[in-house]
Structure 1
Amino acid sequence: MRIGKNVTAALLAGALIGTVSGCSSGGSKDGAPGTPTDVALKSKITPPAAFASEKGWEVRADWMPEGQPYPYALSAKGDTLAYLDKSEQGYVLKVREAVSGRLLSTSKPWKAPEPTEEQTEDPDGLLTVPRVSLITGGEREYFAVWAYGKKSKDQLHSAKEVISAAFYPADASGDIAPSGTADVEASAEDGATDVNVFPGARGLLVIPRSEDAVLLSPDGKVTPGISKVKLGGKPSDLNINIAFPGPDGLVTNGRLEGGIYSGGFGVDGGWHSATVTPPGVDSVLKGESASTGPWETPNGRINSATGNYLIAGWYTTSDNPISAIHDLATGKLRATAPCENIGTPYDLRTPKRPDRYETPAGLSPNGDYLVKGGSVFDLKTGKGHCVGEGKDAKEITLVSVGDDGTAYGLTEREGTEGNMPVSVSAKTGAAKPLPVATTTPDAVAKGAGVFITYASQYIRLIVLNARN
């Protein structure tokens, strides 16, 4: 997430209710762990046919500021869902079974940093609510609760802009404490105006200024001074616009020392894109500049990531771009689609769906299907499809995809028209309109769909069971 100090637009959607005893400041109530009390389904929405409108559970987040994205995260298998509640003592992380709504764990209240002046002045544009991100880790998964704001050491010290984080084991039960907490200064320096936060396998990568990065680990350890990587055997500056703490090292796009763009991507000290080039694609791009003469650079560039996969763009000799899905750990090619894929920004702004540029990638719970922007990929067959293209075709932005390969999204808005809900087959790429009143899922869990609604001046998290 990029925290733009001068940003006045609205946050990238994509990855966040109650005292510990269960009563939230906004009025929602939960029972003790193991009891789905007071999350009974009360709202009536019209979901796609794959989901049962009458069977599920919901949480009403009337404590949240209007216009802010609902912060939650699914486990890697998609069988549990973590979200925040708010009490007078702080934010509380709650984890439930996705299908039944059974409460598995409740964290002790966590105190987020105070809003900065920019956040206070633009509460409808900048993110003011903490995020919840999944950290896949090694043998254990974690949910990271993190926020940007200002914080002071004590009353005798001035407040500084920070990223604060608390990590909770995803498989913990009952009343839980964090496995680690950390703060890292996030003030822009030397004219910089942005701070980036990238969740990944080993924690949160925070880039508060210039090209230095700090890794916050689930045990609370802070590793500072990360600014250089080695890609394809050559030293490179860390790409501050996209870098992920992968299981075997930082994953990033390459740039030669001195800031000269070199192309290519890979893992620090590990695999490089030159060895995982898609068929029909040159591993090195060559050209000639009138001012500097001949040049060449490795092909390929990461533009997004989700789960254990990277989404990259490649240029071909015919100038027809290719989007490709690569395994995060090995770089192995998993699927391609004959179209360009727009990168996802990491901005601390409220989302403007269904803008392809602001919508993150979505992965099915079983890991067989992936969507990003206007592309859908079948990772079993290696084939991807481009949707919303062709003469007079409305642009389609895909948001989520289920285990059966059915993807869900919206068309672009034209004039006074609303966004038409659509479904797309990941196996064939065929798109079809859904009834205009249909609410499409924000994410698909294992055996359920996750729907975020903004009716009646407050936000609801609604989880509906999948039909058998």
Structure 2
Amino acid sequence: MRQRVVRLALVAGVIAVALLVALNLRGGEGGTSEDKPRSTARHSAATQPRLTVPAGYDPRPGWEIAMASAEYAIARKAGRIGYLERTGGDRFRLRTLDTATGRAGWTGRPWRPPASDGPLPRLLSVARDGREYFVTWTFGRAGEDTLTTAGTFVVLDVYGADDGTRRRVEIPWPTAPTVSGTGPGILVGDGRTRSAVVDPASGVVTQVPETSLGHPKGCAGCRRLTEVRGLTAKGLLLSGESGFWVRGGWYSRDVAPAGGDRASGVPTSVVPGRLLAVWRPAKGSKDAATHDIWAVHDSASGRPLVQVRCRRPAIEPGEYPQAVLAPGGGFLVAGNLAFDLERRTGHCFEESDGSKPLTLTTVTDAGLAYGATSARGPADALAGGGTPIALDLASGVPQPLASGVRLPGAEAAGVGLFGWTDTQDRPRLSGHRARTS
């Protein structure tokens, strides 16, 4: 069932826009290109402590912003970073900057979330047909009745990353949603079988009925514990009790990695063009009771690209590690797993020898990964928890970094992005250029 965008009448106050420079509006509801954010002002070393970064990056930031949201999104082709800024009270706006130089880009118009006491707006990026978009989304109630879930909506503002043109999309939604942008559309889900896909170019919303999930023939277990897992270029990725599949496309039983139990696959993380899945070894294998097979698959065809065996934890984790791709797509890391997708090699950094647990958070196009031992997870490692390490995937040997070194949350346009909080509890994002020698 296809439906056009439902316009939601949001209760709005009077918006007073005081700009310090002349506004240069770009098409539609686009952003301003010359409204320079206060957050791009540099702070002297006398008043602001210097962030300690790995030796692979220039110790002095090329640019820095402050008082922005902790989240940011990257449009790599457009060379921009998007971030949210509170403009006073309950209003927000999306700002952008040039990744390489830190120069301010376009700025979106201020807006209010549907519920002033609801969760803060979230931000992601998505690409379709060669064009990139920034997407802010919120969830709230359309009416004043707080005793029922009727009238709640997911509200998305979709901005063209290159020029800031905006399109608002509002979807009636009964419960708190999950929203992801692995492409080529924006997936809205409820963590189970309800889903909607938004075309970022047109704003068209396609709802997938729960009766049309394309369960594979002959897989009775696929109809139990069915769950929408993500979106691929070929359609929705779903899983059941004994398999996973792309609706109208491939089925996990046909793409199991070598030595894997064909009925055991579980998709754990989806990134653009790739899928990370965990499998049990085939029954009768000597390590079937102690190990898992982790495989990176091409999400369009399901074909396994690379795999590695890893000791199964004594206690199953509450959640699986999230995959992170290098900017160019040649490397992938997730938790204690690292893969070179070009050379088809994988590493599992196990704890069976008594070593401390390793959490990898970032990987560059040079195959250099960053992470930490003894961190509670990626967020803790990026916040300075644990002992920082660097890992060259060519050698597969983690090297400890100096105490206090912070890890890049991502790398784009040859710049490492470091999110941190200063001594006055203000969130900051700084860009440090990667050294070439």
Check if 1:305 corresponds to 2:270. Answer: yes
Q: Is the 8 A contact 2:364 2:411 kept in 1?
A: yes
Q: Residues 139-218 of structure 1 correspond to what in structure 2 (within 5 A)? A: 139-152=130-143, 160-172=151-163, 176-178=164-166, 180-188=167-175, 195-208=177-190, 211-218=193-200
**Residue 105 (1) aligns with residue 106 (2):** yes
| 2:205 matched residue in structure 1 | 222
**Aligned pair partner of 1:400 in 337, 362, 369:** 362
Structure 2: which 5+ residue stretches go unaligned? 1-15, 22-30, 377-383
**Which residue is 2:346 aligned to?**
384
Equivalent residue, structure 1, for 2:326: 364
Q: CA 1:331–1:159 in 2, change beyond 3 Å: closer, same or farther?
A: closer
Alpha-carbon separation, structure 1, partners of 2:199 and 2:53: 38
SS of equivalent to 2:253: helix
Structure 1 residue 241 displacement after superposition: 4.7
Q: Which residue of 2 aligns with 1:321?
A: 292
Q: Is residue 41–residue 55 contact of structure 1 (8 Å, CA) maintained in 2?
A: no
- CA–CA distance in 2 between the matches of 1:221 and 1:41? 42
Which residues in structure 2 correspond to 1:277-296 (within 5 Å)?
Answer: 277-283=256-262
Mean Cα deviation higher: 405-414 or 204-213: 204-213
Question: Structure 1-normalised TM-score?
Answer: 0.73
Q: 1:438 to 1:404 in 2, by over 3 A?
A: same
- For the structure 1 residues 20 and 411, does the alpha-carbon distance in structure 2 shift closer, same or farther, using more than 3 Å as the test? farther
Which amino acid is 1:405 matched to?
Answer: G
Deviation track 1:94-141 (CA, whole Å, cap 9, x = no partner) reads 22221211233222223222155xx5xxxxxxxx32121121222322
Structure 1 range deviating more: 94-103 or 356-365: 356-365
Q: Which residue of structure 1 lines up, in the alignment, with residue 249 of structure 2?
A: 270
Which secondary structure state, in structure 2, belongs to the residue aligned with residue 46 of structure 1?
Answer: coil
Structure 2 counterpart SS, 1:274 = helix
**Structure-2 change in CA distance of 1:251 and 1:269 (3 Å):** same
Please give the alpha-carbon distance, in whole angstroms, between the structure 2 residues aligned to 1:164 and 1:421.
38
Tell me the CA shift for residue 306 of structure 1: 1.6
Among residues 207, 223, 231, which one is paired with 1:245 in the alignment?
231
Q: Which amino acid aligns with 2:153?
A: V
Aligned twin of 1:129: 120
Cα contact 1:371–1:398 (8 A) shared by 2: yes
From 390, 411, 434, the counterpart of 1:423 = 390
1:388 Cα shift? 4.8
Q: Which residue of 2 aligns with 1:409?
A: 371
Query: Which residue identity is paired with 2:136?
Result: V
Would the aligned equivalents of 1:198 and 1:243 in 2 still touch at CA under 8 Å?
no
Residue matched to 1:85? 85
Alpha-carbon distance in 1 for matches of 2:327, 2:101: 17
The residue number in structure 1 matching 2:412 is 445
| Distance in 1 (alpha carbons) for counterparts of 2:328 and 2:217 | 35
Cα distance in 1 for residues equivalent to 2:150 and 2:71 = 26
AA aligned to 1:279 is A
2:10 maps to which residue?
Answer: none
Cα 1:406/1:221, change in 2 over 3 Å: same
Deviation of 1:210 after TM superposition, in Å, equals 6.2
Q: Percent identity?
A: 28
- Does the 8 Å contact 1:76/1:136 carry over to 2? no
Q: CA deviation at 1:464?
A: 0.9
Distance in 2 between residues matched to 1:182 and 1:282, nearest whole Å: 42
Q: Which residue in the other structure is 1:124 paired with?
A: none
> How do residues 37-48 of structure 1 correspond to structure 2 at under 5 angstroms?
39-42=40-43, 44-48=50-54
CA contact 1:356–1:397 (8 Å) conserved in 2 = no
Change (3 A) 1:22 1:92: farther
Q: 1:49 to 1:146 in 2, by over 3 A?
A: same
1:300 is aligned with what amino acid? G
Q: How many residues align?
A: 384
Amino acid corresponding to residue 307 of structure 1 in structure 2:
P
Q: Return the offset for 1:38.
A: 5.9
Mapped to 2, the partners of 1:162 and 1:378 lie a distance apart of 41
| CA–CA separation in structure 1 for the residues paired with 2:81 and 2:370 | 20
| Map of 2:4 onto structure 1 | none
Report the equivalent of 1:349: none
Amino acid at match of 2:231: P
CA distance in 2 between counterparts of 1:153 and 1:98 reads 42
The CA distance in 2 between the partners of 1:166 and 1:268, in whole Å, is 27
Map 1:328-367 onto structure 2 (within 5 A): 328-339=299-310, 357=319, 360-367=322-329
Q: How far did 1:359 drift?
A: 5.7
C-alpha distance in 1, partners of 2:74/2:406? Answer: 19
Write the deviation string for residues 209-240 of structure 1: whole angstroms up to 9, x where unpaired. 86322223323222234323225456855976
Q: 1:386 Cα shift? A: 1.1
Contact 1:78 1:445 in 2 (8 A): no
Q: What SS is found at the alignment partner of 1:54?
A: coil
TM superposition shift of 1:73: 1.2
Compute the displacement of 1:200 (Å). 3.1
- Mapped to 2, the partners of 1:169 and 1:268 lie a distance apart of 28
The answer (yes or no) to whether the contact 2:73–2:124 under 8 Å persists in 1 is yes
Q: Distance in 2 between matches of 1:436 and 1:403?
A: 25
Structure 2-normalised TM-score? 0.78
CA contact (8 A) 2:359 2:375 kept: no
Report the alpha carbon displacement of residue 459 of structure 1 after superposing the two structures with TM: 0.6
CA distance, structure 1, for counterparts of residue 216 and residue 153 of structure 2 = 34
When residues 358 and 185 of structure 1 are mapped into structure 2, their CA distance, relative to the original with a 3 A threshold, is farther
Alignment check: 8 A CA contact 1:152 1:158 kept:
no
Compared CA separation, residues 323 and 76, structure 1 to 2 (3 A): farther
* Structure 1 gap ranges (5+): 1-17, 24-29, 65-69, 120-127, 189-193, 256-260, 284-297, 343-354
